[in-house]
Amino acid sequence: MTALIPLAYLIAAVLFILGLKNMSSPKTAVRGNLLGASGMALAIGATLVDGRVGGYWLIGITLIAGTAVGLWLAQTVPMTGMPEMVGLLNGFGGVASTLVAFADLLQSDHQSIDTLLAIGLSGLIGTVTFSGSMIAFAKLKEYKQFKQPFALPFQTLINAGIVLGVVMLVAFMVTTQSFTIQVLCYLAIVALALVLGVFLVLPIGGADMPVVISLMNSYSGLAGAATGFVIDNNALIISGSLVGASGIILTQIMCKAMNRSLGNVLFGKMAGGGKVASADEVYANVRSTSADDIAMILDGAQRVVIVPGYGLAVAQAQHAVRDLAKLLESKGTNVEYAIHPVAGRMPGHMNVLLAEADVSYDKLLEMDAINPTMDTVDVAIVIGANDVVNPSARLDPNSPIAGMPIIDVDKARTVIVIKRSLSPGFAGIPNPLFAMPNALMFYADGQQAVLDIVRAIKAL
Amino acid sequence: MFQRVYLGVCFATVAFAAIACIATSAIAQDNLSSSAPKNGAASQVDASSPKIGASTAESTTISPDKSAVVEKPSNRLAVLIGSLTVFALAVFVGFEVINKVPPTLHTPLMSGSNAISGITVVGAILATGFGKFGFGSLLGAAAIVLAMINVVGGFWVTHRMLSMFKKK
């Protein structure tokens, strides 16, 4: 019986891979998630029937407690709170790895060198994931104390010093023969890693949180894989590396979409250089408009593209936007949504918010899908987005955002920008789109503006 | 609806197993504690991979203590290399599979893969079970709660999101 347990782990790992594979389309994704859950149930079941495991009542109680809390969290979280939720879960996974590695260290006072190394890495990665995720959680929750990026002087140097310290502690832990020193080293590693995680995320601004969450996702996977090396379990190694790879890919996508390197995000340096035109100069010929005028323009449009940005998610205007789209569609207009990779507060977040607002997923187009046909669009409505539609990225090679992938709304016949003011986006540069001859500004709160436009269209 | 029920069944299975755990522990506690080895993780490797170092008779028997493994560095090294092989291949599989996920599903992908990384719960159960109610058991128990929140919360919230993605 015991010999079959590794086989069950293998099947679980295969189910995880199939589950992720099914995530390649919204049609099969639900099935994919169920496959993953089945794999997990199998892995847990196989572990429980392992004849050498004792103390079942403690295991039983804790399994039920964790399940109850997990269900409660998952059922009550609003879709807008998804980034915080994922951040929190990342942190829990990380700290679980730290605890398991510590428990394994305590169980035997003569571990082999590679196991000690894996224990050290588990403790390091797991703890950094935990403390980093908790800070990210606080930033995403927009607690006042954490809102502003905060960095000590010489932060990078301090971090490098901590990393060096951890490396030395790991080396010491692996080579020493004394059990007591090994335990002390482990505790010191965990303490340093706690501080390191905080220092790594504190200096990062709210706009860069999608990158941080992706990175923490990757770390939580790697922590799991390291724990797999500690207890010689292939199921952990496979799942951990799958998640690690997934997080790294998402991190790369986010960085590319923001036109920043990973180091650049982590060490808080904005893309330097580049001559920035003054806002007054750029915004000399901006024209503003009203809800009634917009209603007239939309009335004659064949194809309308809505470009939602971070601001729409913050204003929670997705339901109002859905109503506007439904109204236009009932008049025979073709309405689509163009989603930039960093439109929401985490990768793919905007898609979830629009899906929740009952928008069909085939209406949600990626940047690369919509850009080639942008010149056939009659009206592009930009809501709460700025940098991701800034044509400087394409036209001005000296701009700080030069080369950043953007949605080419400036090529549409008419662009309506709904925005509170002409204030710059996260990149801190003016947007020449607003002053283009085909652009109209509608200064208002995102949700109120859309409601007004709906009212104006109905009144036509 | 059926899918939500299925997801519930998956969790219920675990919950049932958990309750069964509590029940059996009351009956069979003595049997288990008398035969509990000090560190099962190492012995599990020995039991599950008899190929490794099969020329020596000892390696195919279940060793009750990790010290037995430490004394055979070549065996230990083979296990490590095996694990590294699995790790490297799984990273490549991960890259291949994840690259095909469309941006529209990136948030569910993240919460779903997050749930998968909660597989640490396996390690937590082993740590609790082998810990003989010492401090190690308590650490393991805390890890079970946290990892289980990760697992159940992750899968459930992913399902909530995915069931909203509809084509009309």
Every domain of chain A and the residues it spans: 77-266, 279-459
Contact state of B133 with A34 under an 8 Å Cβ cutoff: no
The residue type found at B26 is A
The DSSP output letter for A375 is: G
Contact state of B125 with A64 under an 8 Å Cβ cutoff: no
One-character DSSP codes across A143-200: -HHHHS----TTHHHHHHHHHHHHHHHHHHHHH---HHHHHHHHHHHHHHHHHHHHHH
Tell me what the mean pLDDT of segment A273-294 comes to: 78
Q: What pLDDT shows up at residue B27? A: 55
Question: What is the distance between the alpha carbons of residues A94 and A266, in angstroms, rounded to a whole number?
Answer: 19
Radius of gyration of chain B (CA): 20
Question: What is the distance between the alpha carbons of residues A108 and A116, in angstroms, rounded to a whole number?
Answer: 11
Tell me how many residue pairs between chain A and chain B have CB atoms under 8 A apart. Answer: 486
Q: Dihedrals φ, ψ of A317, to 5°?
A: -95, 10
Task: Tell which of A14, A80, A89, A214 to mutate to test the B interface (max B CBs under 10 Å).
Answer: A89
Give the Å distances, CA to CA, from B168 to A37, A210, A361, A363, B98.
27, 29, 8, 9, 26
Neighbouring CB atoms inside 10 A of A318's CB total 27
Q: What pLDDT shows up at residue A269? A: 53
Burial pattern A151-184, b for ≥16 Cβ within 10 A else e, equals eeeebbeebeebeeebeebbebbbeeeeeeebee
CA distance A214 to chain B (A): 8
Question: Residue A21's Cα: distance from chain center in Å?
Answer: 20
Nearest residue to A124 (alpha-carbon basis) of A116, A136, A112: A116
**What is the per-residue pLDDT across A337-377, written as a single tens digit (0 to 9) for each?**
999 988 888 888 899 999 988 899 889 999 989 999 999 99
Out of A148-152, A176-180, A447-451, least confident range: A148-152
Residue among A387, A408, A410, A452 flagged as catalytic:
A387
Contacts of B79 in chain A (CB under 8 A): 232
Tell me what the mean pLDDT of segment A41-69 comes to: 88
Question: What is the distance between the alpha carbons of residues A369 and B167, in angstroms, rounded to a whole number?
Answer: 18
B52 vs A: CB within 8 A: no
CATH topology of domain A279-459: Rossmann fold (3.40.50)
Question: What is the distance between the alpha carbons of residues A99 and A116, in angstroms, rounded to a whole number?
Answer: 14
Q: What pLDDT shows up at residue A226? A: 94
The residue type found at B164 is M
B75 vs A: CB within 8 A: no
Is residue B19 classed exposed, middle or buried when 0-12, 13-18 and 19+ CB atoms within 10 A define those classes? Answer: middle
Among A56, A69, A356, whose Cβ lies nearest the Cβ of B22?
A56
Contacts of A247 in chain B (CB under 8 A): 110, 113
For A57, the closest chain B residue by CA position comes to B22
Q: Tell how strand A379-383 and strand A439-443 pair up.
A: unpaired
What ipTM goes with this model?
0.88
The residue type found at A149 is P
Residue A362 annotated among the catalytic residues of the structure: no
- pLDDT of residue B58 exceeding 60, the answer is no
Contact state of B18 with A63 under an 8 Å Cβ cutoff: yes
Cβ–Cβ under 8 Å, residues A187 and A215:
no
Predicted structure pTM score: 0.82
For B89, the closest chain A residue by CA position comes to A238
Contacts of A74 in chain B (CB under 8 A): 152-157, 160
Percent of chain B with pLDDT over 70: 60
Q: What pLDDT shows up at residue A272? A: 44
Question: Residue B5's Cα: distance from chain center in Å?
Answer: 24
CA distance A277 to chain B (A): 33
Neighbouring CB atoms inside 10 A of B20's CB total 14
Neighbouring CB atoms inside 10 A of A343's CB total 30
Contact state of B152 with A67 under an 8 Å Cβ cutoff: yes
A288 vs B: CB within 8 A: no
Contacts of A36 in chain B (CB under 8 A): 112, 115-116, 155
Contact state of B117 with A106 under an 8 Å Cβ cutoff: no
Is pLDDT larger for residue A374 or for residue A315? A374
Percent of chain B with pLDDT over 90: 34
Gap between the terminal Cα atoms of chain B: 18
Tell me what the mean pLDDT of segment A168-197 comes to: 92
Out of A5-9, A128-132, A281-285, B136-140, least confident range: A281-285
- Three-state DSSP string of chain A: CHHHHHHHHHHHHHHHHHHHHHHHCHHHHHHHHHHHHHHHHHHHHHHHHCCCCCCHHHHHHHHHHHHHHHHHHHHHCCHHHHHHHHHHHHHHHHHHHHHHHHHHHHHCCCCCHHHHHHHHHHHHHHHHHHHHHHHHHHHHCCCHHHHCCCCCCCHHHHHHHHHHHHHHHHHHHHHCCCHHHHHHHHHHHHHHHHHHHHHHHCCCCHHHHHHHHHHHHHHHHHHHHHHHHHCCCHHHHHHHHHHHHHHHHHHHHHHHHCCCCHHHHHCCCCCCCCCCCCHHHHHHHCCECCHHHHHHHHHCCCEEEEEECHHHHHHCCHHHHHHHHHHHHHCCCEEEEEECCCCCCCCCHHHHHHHHCCCCHHHEEEHHHHHHHHHHCCEEEEECCCHHHCCHHHHCCCCCCCCCCCCCHHHCCEEEEEECCCCCCCCCCCCHHHHCCCEEEEECCHHHHHHHHHHHHHHC
Q: What pLDDT shows up at residue B50? A: 38
Question: What is the distance between the alpha carbons of residues B56 and B44, in angstroms, rounded to a whole number?
Answer: 17
